[in-house]
Chains A and B, each alone.
Chain A
Amino acid sequence: MSTWSLLAKQTGKNMMGLRTGMWALRARSGGIMVTSVRTAADRPDPWNYLWQPGPYPRTQEEREAAAKKYGLIVEDYKPYPDDGRGLGDYPNLPVRCMDSKPGQYNWDIPEEKRNFGEPLHMNFHLMLASRPSLSVRPRYTQFQYLRWFLGLISFFTLFQLIAGEYEWFHPFSERQTPGPYKKKFYSFELE
């Protein structure tokens, strides 16, 4: 029971009920509604197959055709191995993250630092500026990081296991608040 339906029951207005129904439809079957509308309208035209890679190139002619299709010269074109991943003739491009590309160059698409018609790496979305840079060389090796992590964790764990067995507190008696029952407290001066 949502707040909107409760409000509709209280007010009993037709408009509120309509709004509630719309809200429920949107919440429960919004995605299905949108897709069904799109497929029914046929607009925009289905385009996914246009960007599918072709079959893996076996002959030299096929390789040349594939290189031309992706805007590369034959020497630069190198497909992914045909190991059943279904990448077909898509080129295996060198990894080039956005930090390694010059920022002062007049790119066609400066947000992504690339030119129009430039072939994209298969994992181009992992090389955007919002992703960790691949051009930075870490200061320490992964093994050193792991060593420090495990060392510090085990040090603090051991310290807690040993020191946690002992009590440590400050030398204070109870708080000197008389309270409703007029508890008595004494000064160290004599009467």
Chain B
Amino acid sequence: MYTDRGLYRLLLQPPLNRQYIKCLRNKDLSVTMGNIIPDYVREFNSNPQGAPVHCFVPTYDPNFGFDGKRKEMKMVATVEEMDAAKIPPQNRDFCAHLLIEYKKCIHLKPSVMCSHDLHNWDLCQYDQSTRRVMEYEREFRLKQREIRMNKKANAEAMAA
């Protein structure tokens, strides 16, 4: 009896390689930030001024606390290109040129042959999400710092 033929082969195979999923489960990107109830959620519920809300607009100077100037993000795709490719407004971000490439590819070829372009766009979106989470963390820490400094100043003023 050939146990390595037919459906038995599926049983003999090693489990699927989940390297890609492991990459998505990066601790730095996990929405709980390493806790069941994350710090920022606890902070926001106890003191709404102490943590930024979801999808906030950054209030601090973008270069504050850095050694030099931060790189500005550059939009590659033009508005005319995005209009022509019918990119919806929520996708008109810094990955739009990759999405246009992917759309072009699936227009010309079968979509299974465009997984490379799709993956490129996916990675770009992943980087963007990372950036957004880092922006949140930066705002959160700066707010906490401001609160701490205000408390210290108040204590000194009370002592004096």
Contacts and interface: CB of A to CB of B under 8 A. Distances in A.
Contacts of A10: none
A176 B131 contact: yes
A184 interface: yes
Interface string B70-88: 1111010001000000000
B137 to A, nearest CB: 7
A156 interface: no
Contact of B55 (A172, A188, A189): A172
Interface string A155-191: 0000000000011111111111111100011111111
Interface stretch (B3-11, B13-21, B90-98, B145-153): B90-98
B68 A167 contact: no
Given A171-B31, A177-B90, A187 B71 contact: yes
A184 B94 CA distance: 11
Contacts of A178: 75, 92-94
B33 interface: yes
B93 A190 contact: no
Given A173-B55, A185-B94, A167 B70 contact: no
Contact of A171 (B73, B90, B137): B137
Given A187-B71, A191-B69, A169 B62 contact: no
A176 B132 contact: yes
Contact of A190 (B40, B68, B129): B68
Contacts of B40: 171
Contacts of B41: 166-169
B2 interface: no
Given A171-B38, A175-B90, A189 B71 contact: yes
Contacts of B90: 175, 177
B136 A171 contact: yes
A172 B72 contact: no
Contacts of B89: 177
B123 interface: no
A169 B48 CA distance: 13
Interface in B47-71: 52-58, 62-63, 66-71
Nearest to A172: B132
B111 interface: no
Given A174-B56, A175-B55, A190-B67, A184 B72 contact: yes
Contacts of A172: 54-55, 129, 132-133, 136
Most chain-A Cβ atoms within 10 A of its Cβ — which of B38, B63, B73, B140? B73
A186 B73 contact: yes
B44 interface: yes
Contacts of B70: 186-191
A187 to B, nearest CB: 4
Interface of B: 31, 33, 38, 40-41, 44-45, 52-58, 62-63, 66-73, 75, 79, 89-90, 92-94, 128-129, 131-137, 139-140
18 contacts: A167-B41, A171-B137, A172-B129, A172-B132, A172-B136, A173-B55, A173-B135, A174-B55, A175-B132, A176-B94, A177-B89, A177-B92, A184-B73, A186-B72, A186-B73, A187-B72, A189-B70, A189-B71
Lowest 6 CB-CB distances: which A-B pairs, in order? A169-B54, A173-B135, A186-B70, A171-B136, A187-B71, A190-B68
